[in-house]
Amino acid sequence: MYPRHDLNLQVGLQSNRSIEGTLAHEALASQLSGLAMDRDYTQEEICLHCTSNSAVLHFHFKMTEGNDEIKSSERRVALGVAGGIAAYKAIEVLRGLQRAGCEVRVAMTRHACEFIRPLTFRALSGSYVIVDDYSPDNPDPIAHITFSQTIDLFIVAPATANLLAKLANGIADDFVTSTYLACTAPILVAPAMNTVMLQHPATQRNLEKLRADGVYIIEPDEGEMACGTIGPGRLSHPEAIVTAALEILSQTGRATNGLSAGSLMDLAGERILITAGATREPIDPVRFISNRSSGRMGFALAEAARARGATVTVVAGITTVSPPSGVRVLAVSSAEEMRQAVAGEIYAATIFIGAAAVSDYRAKEKADTKIKKLSHEIELKLERTPDILGEVAQSRSNGQIIVGFAAETNDSLLHAREKLIGKNLDAVIANDVSRKDAGFDSENNSVAILLRDNPSPIELPLMSKLEVAHRILNEMVKLRHATAVNPSHQSKVAKR
């Protein structure tokens, strides 16, 4: 039995961190919303209003030093606002993200507009606020696609019980829910509702479904509700939501290759065994069969897994880059040496990722001395090297997740699917090594992730190998949650 790793984010607020803002309660939020809609402002009037009323519209965030370290003007965040009494707090979330250097666009449900007007968000974000993508004044007729696939993070705050139910069950009947289904970026949801509604079994099931789908959930705070109830259900503090968002961006965002010290530890308790680099199969004392693998992808996976809390061991073949710090490295040369090293470590591993480019063939007979150039041609007989990945999959213990790579130059998805099924793996990463801008000995990669029981590959655009590593590990977290929710699923895989 392996530990389950919930994606819940519980960000504590220290006493020296505070948010100062004039929209501190609902009355002022309503005043601002009403002020914004008393008349139809032109863009110039909105700008003038924002400038002359900066005390009203600016929130003075005292962010932590950790947040200051991960500022970036390139991060693109979508903020979805649902129709709850806490909708006005989304303004503070918006401003906090902007102060951290994020570009924020806002989408609202129709009921959210009953609590706060779209013009407020438009004035603060400088962008069109989408409520209905079929609206005549919407500049993009397929906004739920373009909006969702050009962002680095999608935040829903507040998320009502109704909206949680729709997200968990794949209902796409408005812009926010359609954006959720079309989104390929990480998603952070901040629930807010009455205590009884939050604790209802249906709501808890929906939250569990979202966690299993890899959605980050930031737990609501406890306190007095607008209805007078006291208990859990209040929207988490806006600064806590901003902090959680920046941690996710630092972990998986397209705009960064690094991780902050406070990044999410969703792999804590996992013991991950990774193979990396190329193998060398000797022909004689000076010649060998090998390939151009640098080990960058395997080391990127090790670095990402270590940063997310895993205990990492790397069995490294021949590499041209240095391994990351904080991981255990076992150096090998040939496929047989790698096989023996893996066999000695696999019993303790909860996840195995075969990222090494293992030579498929080796010389049947190795010459004891250098082969002399005595004739125009020689005959070199080859034999298969051991199938390390296949052996690991065949001997897997219950609960182990087994992942392979398929380095291909043609029909990569077809060959990767064959490996996924033929070797009984949990996932295969299809890697087109014929590209000049990705693959072997490159700092970047563009891969497709194929998962068991999922006919549609997850195709990633060109990005750094560290970013690819995090996207792969995101899927491993989802697999682990799926196994925890349905343990019989893993046992079926082991019996295939």
Any idea which residues carry the catalytic annotation? 227
Helices 201-212 and 161-168 cross at an angle (nearest 10°) of 50
Look at residues 217, 65, 229 and name the one whose alpha carbon lies nearest to residue 156.
217
- Taking residue 158's Cβ as centre, other Cβ atoms within 10 Å add up to 29
Q: Is 7 helix (H, G, I), strand (E, B) or coil?
A: coil
Please give the structure tokens belonging to residue 155.
């935040």
Task: Count how many residues are written for the chain.
Answer: 496
User: Are the CB atoms for 79 and 104 separated by under 8 Å?
Assistant: yes
Please give the structure tokens belonging to residue 176. Answer: 């926010």
The string of DSSP codes covering 444-462 is: EE-EEEEETT--S-EE--S
**To which residue do tokens 């066999």 refer?**
343
Distances, alpha carbon 377 to alpha carbons 168, 235, 236, 284, in Å: 65, 76, 74, 16
Burial of 348 (0-12, 13-18, 19+ CB in 10 A): exposed
C-alpha angle with apex 180: 134 to 193, nearest 5 degrees? 100
Q: In 96-151, where do the E strands start and end?
A: 103-108
